[in-house]
Amino acid sequence: YTSGTTGRPKGCVLTHANFFAEVDNGIELLHPVFRATSTEPASTLLFLPLAHVFGRMIAVGCLRARVRLGHAPSIQTDDLLADLAGFRPTFLLAIPYVLEKVHNTGRATAERMGRAASFDRATRVAQRYGRAVLAAERGTGPGPGPGLKVARTLYDALVYRRIRAALGGGVRYVICGGSPLGHRLAAFYAGAGVDVFEGYGLTETTAAATVTPPLAPRLDTVGWPMPGSAVRIADDGEVLLRGGQVFAGYWDGERGTCTPATTADGWFPTGDIGALDADGYLTITGRKKELIVTSGGKNVAPAPLEDRLRAHPLVGQCMVVGDDRPYVTALITLDPDGLAHWRRMHGKREVPLPELVRDETLRAELARAVDDANTLVSRPESIRRFRVLPVEFTEATGHLTPSLKLRRAAVAKDFAAEIEELYARE
């Protein structure tokens, strides 16, 4: 079933042939992931639910490739880090949330030790090193210079080794999907010694339809079409997909029938907006159904703003609002781990959460995060006001899907009063 972010979940009929087309091509394309490249056998620890096609596809792929597979029951930070340390996988599949948490936890630890500035320098070095390595692999740059190599070696012992240890100590590759990872975080992990292969797909395409080619990575894209697949962009910007992994159709439970959802020539309209560059790399910019149209007629894709904001250690979830409104606003929830660290560092452990969300120091830090996200867009598309909520968006509250995607309609309904306040006259 689809995640149902913009409506009721729909049953997708995925056949054995769909899974064979997906996993066999994926295993061959991502050779260093599913095949041992050292004396240590390939292995992974799966913590996404098997009811989600991303997790199911990897589970089937591991069985197909005879890869050692473990299952973790929790994505709570402490539980997951302990499981990773015990299992020591060689590769992971993850949503950006997990990679953000590992990075942010590392930074919080450094700040508690009085070494935040050193961690930030290490982050910048890793990003520069990662971008230089990827440019060299593409043939568009000379690669890291001597000074950068020395700095990277120094911080590998101080910082990067700890980041890799948080992932279990043996992880060399990560397959990332669900939402964009972001240029800065992707470059950081590349510089820290972990290759991240971003992919794009849907339940309807048995997970990945495109993926980063290991020998020709490009930041800020979701790669090329999988072998045997094709991508094209419709006149309105919608991404269309075709290939052996595209599902048979949507399931009609009342009639017990399957309704095809492809065009007469086999193309599946994804509902996503994207673009192909001259070399065939795909970039996803948002969902057609999620596009915000302000009262001034400006089209705003909320995903880039939300993804950048969620990368901040204090931000748990956020939802950009502005459809038929004069300007764009946002609802923000606080990340429990990030907030706990912030409380310790600012001596505010005992302040109740409803009072804390109005704290001027906290709001100032979040305002800087909003300003950073706004650098991605034009002034009419930028977030003008935001509201910090004293609650979390979770699957239990009905605000997130099992894969941690926003249920926008549910959030808009439950926080209608807070949204109206954002547009009330001051």
Report the alpha-carbon distance of residue 406 to residue 6 in Å, rounded: 9
- Picking from 170, 181, 161, 159, the residue whose alpha carbon sits closest to that of residue 109 is 159
Return the bridge partners of 68, or none: 43
- Three-class DSSP category at 193: coil
Report the alpha-carbon distance of residue 10 to residue 15 in Å, rounded: 16
Contact 70, 87 (CB under 8 A): yes
Q: How would you classify the pairing of strands 282-287 and 268-276?
A: antiparallel
CA–chain centroid gap for 286, Å, is: 13
The whole domain housing 343 covers 292-422
Domain end call among 256, 287, 318: 287
CB atoms within 10 A of CB 53: 27
The alpha carbon torsion through 318, 319, 325, 329 (nearest 10 deg) reads: 10
Same domain, 218 and 316: no
Give the pair of three-digit tokens for residue 32.
Answer: 């260093």
Q: Looking at residue 3, what is its pLDDT?
A: 74
The alpha carbon torsion through 226, 232, 238, 242 (nearest 10 deg) reads: -50
Q: What is the CATH number of the domain that holds 15?
A: 3.40.50.12780
Q: How would you classify the pairing of strands 91-94 and 173-176?
A: parallel
Residue spans of beta strands (DSSP E) within 260-402: 268-276, 282-287, 292-293, 299-300, 315-321, 328-334, 383-389
The alpha carbon torsion through 281, 284, 288, 292 (nearest 10 deg) reads: -140
Count of structural domains within the chain:
2
Place of tokens 């620890």: 45
Residue type, 116: A
Residue type, 213: P
Model pTM score: 0.83
CB atoms within 10 A of CB 352: 8
Torsion angles phi and psi, residue 160, rounded to 5: -65, -35
Q: What is the DSSP letter of 421?
A: H
Strand order, beta sheet including 257-259: 12-13, 249-252, 257-259
Residue type, 362: L
Same domain, 325 and 278: no
Same domain, 86 and 199: yes
Same domain, 151 and 53: yes
Domain end call among 253, 287, 321: 287
Same domain, 68 and 173: yes
- Picking from 167, 164, 168, the residue whose alpha carbon sits closest to that of residue 156 is 164
Same domain, 199 and 303: no
Q: Looking at residue 253, what is its pLDDT?
A: 82
Report the alpha-carbon distance of residue 226 to residue 29 in Å, rounded: 8
Q: Looking at residue 323, what is its pLDDT?
A: 92
C-alpha pair distances (Å), 46 with each of 43, 83, 87, 252: 10, 10, 11, 31
Same domain, 3 and 52: yes
Domain end call among 229, 255, 287: 287
Same domain, 255 and 302: no
Q: Looking at residue 85, what is its pLDDT?
A: 92
- Picking from 299, 300, 424, the residue whose alpha carbon sits closest to that of residue 373 is 300
Q: Which residues contact 366 (CB under 8 A, 6 or more apart)?
A: 312, 314, 315, 332, 386, 388
Same domain, 265 and 325: no
CB atoms within 10 A of CB 24: 17
Q: What is the CATH number of the domain that holds 356?
A: 3.30.300.30
Q: Looking at residue 168, what is its pLDDT?
A: 92
Q: Looking at residue 101, what is its pLDDT?
A: 87
Positions of the chain with pLDDT under 50: 426
Same domain, 235 and 298: no
Instruction: Give, for 274, the enclosing helix (H) or strand (E).
Output: strand 268-276
Count CA atoms closer than 13 A to 26's CA, side-chain side.
33
Give the pair of three-digit tokens for residue 96.
Answer: 């950006």
Return the bridge partners of 211, or none: 199, 224
Same domain, 79 and 228: yes
- Picking from 138, 124, 338, 320, the residue whose alpha carbon sits closest to that of residue 218 is 138
CB atoms within 10 A of CB 315: 25
Residue type, 219: L
Q: Looking at residue 348, what is its pLDDT?
A: 93
